A and B are shown apart, each in its own frame.
Chain A
Amino acid sequence: MINCKALVIGGSAGSLDVLIKILPAISLDITFPIIIVIHRKQGTDSLLSELLATKTALMVKEVEEKERILPKTIYVAPSDYHLLIEKDLTFSLDYSEKVNYSRPSIDVTFQSAAEVFSTHLVCLLLSGSNADGVNGLIAVNGYEGEALAQDPSTAQVDYMPAQAILRARIDQILKIEEMAHYINSLS
């Protein structure tokens, strides 16, 4: 079993519904941070973090520039910035060009996290309508982290996890009802 130092969850259309379902079942005793990168438009940041916070007793917060990454905390990527993880275990926010038409790009965060956490990283790609995140999972494969994908048959929009399964090496394909248990087992 992997010694998980960080879990990064990426998703797009249909992923918020999954998060709402799994957050209440995630143990308060997890030993790692959960970093959430989902595509969305500007103007919903605080509302999203606030909504997620109603689903868990874990600390939920929107990432701030240079913020230190702490365990037992759920971090939400702000809209319109790429979210990068630095080697000193802080976040940085980047306003460079969109990747896969997306900012934040899931690929950018997965890749960045893979470089820092390598074999101690777990990345989960949820429902979505484009392939952002797939190259990130391939990078996770390269660093021998763990790559997870939502079972496409349980996804509102199956393209994103289906592409992941097609193109990356996926260690576990998870149904929505299996996710929280699996995440809890990583501690």
Chain B
Amino acid sequence: MTKKVFIFDDNTDILELCTLILEDAGYEIKTSATSNAIVDQVSSYMPDLIFMDNWLPDVGGIEATQELKSHPDLKHIPVIYFSANNDVSLLAEKAGADSYLSKPFDIQTLEEMVNSHIGR
């Protein structure tokens, strides 16, 4: 069964590129440029993995991740926090994310990160 990845980022170019790359790698992708109604968005897709950008309209990435990690039905879904911020590891820790990815990243790093969490 195809594993599903949900990517949250307000940079639509990042969303488009990551979608093309991860679809090529055999994953199903959904994207969103807003964290509005984050629980509803994630609940309706039930991904196997989430990428969460630090800067998002509505609530930021930290609050959105905290909301997901405190939800009984969603907290098991691994969240990779990604950001160009130098303190991405601290931000990820504060958010309660499972791991982090520094921007910019290359294709190999992106694929390895996904494979390490939900690789087939």
B104 within 8 A of A: yes
Assess the A20–B20 pair: CB atoms within 8 A. yes
Q: Is the CB of B14 within 8 A of A51?
A: no
Q: For residue B11, which residues in chain A have a CB less than 8 angstroms away from its CB?
A: 41, 43-44
Residue of A nearest to B110 (CB): A47
In angstroms, how far is the closest chain A Cβ from the Cβ of B106? 6
Q: Which of B57-86 contact A (CB under 8 A)?
A: 84
B24 touches A54 (CB 8 A): yes
A45 at the binding interface (Cβ < 8 Å): yes
Cα distance, A40 to B11, chains bound together (Å): 9
Q: Which residue of A lies closest to B24 (CB)?
A: A54
**B107 & A51 in contact (Cβ 8 Å cutoff):** yes
B12 to chain A, nearest CB (A): 8
Q: Does B40 belong to the interface (CB within 8 Å)?
A: no
Contact call A54/B104, Cβ cutoff below 8 A:
no
Q: Which residues of B lie under 8 Å from residue A20 when comparing CB positions?
A: 20
Q: Is the interface of A mostly helix, strand, loop or mixed?
A: helix
Residues in A with CB closer than 8 Å to B17 are 16, 44, 47-48, 51
A177 on the B face (CB < 8 A):
no
Shortest distance from the beta carbon of A159 to any chain B beta carbon, whole Å: 17
Q: Which residue in B13, B20, B106 is a CB contact (below 8 Å) of A41?
A: B13
Which of B12, B24, B84, B105 contacts A47, CB < 8 Å?
Answer: B105
User: What's the nearest-Cβ distance from chain A to residue B39, in Å?
Assistant: 28
Cβ distance B93 to chain A, nearest Cβ, rounded Å:
23
Q: Which listed residue (B13, B14, B106) contacts A50, Cβ 8 A?
A: B106
Q: How far is the CA of A132 from the CA of B16 in the complex (A)?
A: 21
- Bitwise, B16-50 to A at CB < 8 A (1) or not (0) is 11001100100000000000000000000000000
Q: Which residues from A are CB-within-8-Å of B24?
A: 54
User: Which residues of A are at the interface with B, using a C-beta cutoff of 8 A?
Assistant: 16-17, 20, 40-41, 43-48, 50-51, 54
Chain B residues near A (Cβ < 8 Å): 11-14, 16-17, 20-21, 24, 84, 103-107
22 A-B residue pairs with CB within 8 Å: A16-B16, A16-B17, A16-B20, A40-B13, A41-B11, A41-B12, A41-B13, A41-B14, A43-B11, A43-B103, A43-B104, A44-B13, A44-B14, A46-B104, A47-B105, A47-B106, A48-B13, A48-B17, A50-B106, A50-B107, A51-B17, A51-B107
